[in-house]
Structure formats: C-alpha cells, structure tokens
Structure 1
Amino acid sequence: MGAAVLNVAAAQWSVRSAYPAGPTVLRIQGDLDAEVAPALQTCLEGGLERAADVLVDLSDVSLIDCVCLGVLLRAHHRARSLGLLLALAAPSPSVQRTLAATRVDRALHITCEVAPAVVALRRHALEHMWPERLCRRTRDVKAPGPAPF
C-alpha cells in the first residue's frame, strides 16, 4: 500500500490506495478552509486522474467552509463525468451540520463509516466500471480542451 502525507497549514493529509482498482482514500485532519482549498483540489484531482473512485475521510475534520465545499462539489461533478464516484465518509457532527445547512449532503455520497465505504467503492470499481474506466482514461488524456477544474 502506498501512502503519502501532506502537511498544509492547519490540516494534515494522508492519501493512500491499496489496490489498483481500489479507491483513493484521502484522510484529512484539521480544518478545511480557504487556505487549504488548493491542496484539497490537487489531492482530489490526483485521485481522479488515476481513474479511481475517491473517498474523503472527514472523521477528524472539525470545520469545513464554503470554499472547500465548492472544491468537493466540483470534484464530484468531475468524477461523475468520468464515470467515477466521490464519497465523503464519517463527517464529524459539526461538519454534518454544515453539509446539511448548505444542502451539500443532498448532492454528495456520504457514509457514516470509512471501512464499509472503501469496500463498497472497491466493489463498485471491480464489478461495474473498471474496464470502462481504462477506456475513458485513455480518451480523457487525448481529449483537447481545458479540464473543468
């Protein structure tokens, strides 16, 4: 399993993936605010670039602002356009309130626990979309024009 840790301002990041067909898991500790939004976007794009579903573990995040919510929503739309899934896992109570108040919880896939979400995303990749993803990834690389991010 590969792992990387990225320290950015008040947030600590860990990105890992155990299997080629498995999801990229982005574990975040700290606050998600405008200061860390560019790093969040980079991490999410990296997961999508490898044609993998992305799971964002929010269990250790105490605050998320509107800038980072926008980053998550754009990544969600990008993932859907690639036939991938972006899901949030285990948001803290304060993050859950923010997601509900902004109605972002209606747009994004949100699960209560990390481990079952990883299993579900791995199953999704293996059973439904893995061969098609390889073809889409090849087409996306060759397609002209700017990325939506």
Structure 2
Amino acid sequence: MAPVQVDDRPDAAVVHVRTDIDAGVAAVLRDTLTDAVDRRGHVVLDMAGVDTLAPDGLATLVRAHRRARQRGAWVCLSGPSRFVLTVLHTMKVDGVFPVFDDCAAALDWLHGEGG
C-alpha cells in the first residue's frame, strides 16, 4: 500500500497518509498536495495514520496551505495525532489549519462555512 493515496471527489481531494511524515514522505506528499490543490482547490488531509510530523512535513503542510489560500481554498486536517497537534501548536500554526476528528466532518465544513 502506498503511503499517500488520493480520493478525488467533485468538491475536494481527500489525501490519505498512512505513515509518519518524515523527509522521504514529505517529498511525495508535497507533489501530491500541489497536484490536489491545483486540480480541486480544497483538500482534506487524512492524518489518522500519522503519529509523527518531521520539520520537512510541517513545511510541506504550510506550503500547501498557502497555495490553497491563494486559490480561495482550504487544506483541512482530519484526525491528527496528539503529537501532530503539539507540533502545530509549538510552531504557532495550529490556528492556520481547520482541524476535524474525521474526513466526513471536514467535508461537511467545506460544504458549509469553509467552502
């Protein structure tokens, strides 16, 4: 199984990450998120399988967020671990990403106030 998979939906791309986001995965994720933002705008990043987030991974998320916001879209985080939330808070970007317990809640938000 690939560590990063995309579920294209008409209104958003759901990007599933099934491993920790280290330097190697960050490179694949960067390309995937860039493509997803360019094609769909909104992205839900399913992080239920991610325990840790390395600095390269955080930089990848921030870049994707900026790209999406330039297009009037969002990168939402779904199911991030306590460790990932701590990294976001420590680096003072926890308020940047809409965070949800699951993909369905993120997609509902995008259909409502986020979209």
Structures share a fold, TM > 0.5?
A: yes
| Map 1:71-110 → 2, pairs under 5 A | 71-110=60-99
Match for residue 48 of structure 1 among 13, 37, 59 = 37
Counterpart contact for 2:15–2:43, Cα < 8 Å: yes
Q: For the residues of structure 2 that align with 1:100 and 1:61, how far apart are their CA atoms?
A: 17
**What's the CA shift for 1:82?**
0.9
Over 3 Å counting, the alpha-carbon distance change for 1:68 and 1:26 in structure 2 is same
Deviations 1:84-138 (A, max 9, x none): 111111101221222222222122222222211112224468xx6xxxxxxxxxx
Q: For the residues of structure 1 that align with 2:111 and 2:27, how far apart are their CA atoms?
A: 27
| Alignment pair present for 1:16 and 2:7 | yes
Larger strand proportion, structure 1 or 2? 1
More RCO (CA 8 Å, sep 6+)? 2
Deviations 1:13-62 (A, max 9, x none): 221023x2x21000111110111111111110111111430010111101
Unaligned runs of 5+ in 1: 129-149
**SS across alignment from 2:7:** strand
Unaligned runs of 5+ in 2: none
Opposite residue 57 of structure 1, the aligned amino acid is D
Please give the root-mean-square deviation of Cα atoms over the aligned residues, in Å.
1.8
| Alignment pair present for 1:63 and 2:63 | no
The answer for the alignment partner of 2:102 in structure 1 is 113
Match for residue 25 of structure 1 among 14, 35, 41 = 14
Normalising to structure 1: TM-score of the pair? 0.70
Which ranges of 4 or more aligned residues in structure 1 deviate by more than 6 Å? none
Counterpart contact for 1:63–1:94, Cα < 8 Å: yes
**What's the CA shift for 1:75?**
0.9
Which stretch of structure 1 is more off in the superposition, 100-109 or 86-95? Answer: 100-109
Question: What is the aligned residue count?
Answer: 115
Q: Percent identity?
A: 29
User: Rg bigger for which structure?
Assistant: 1
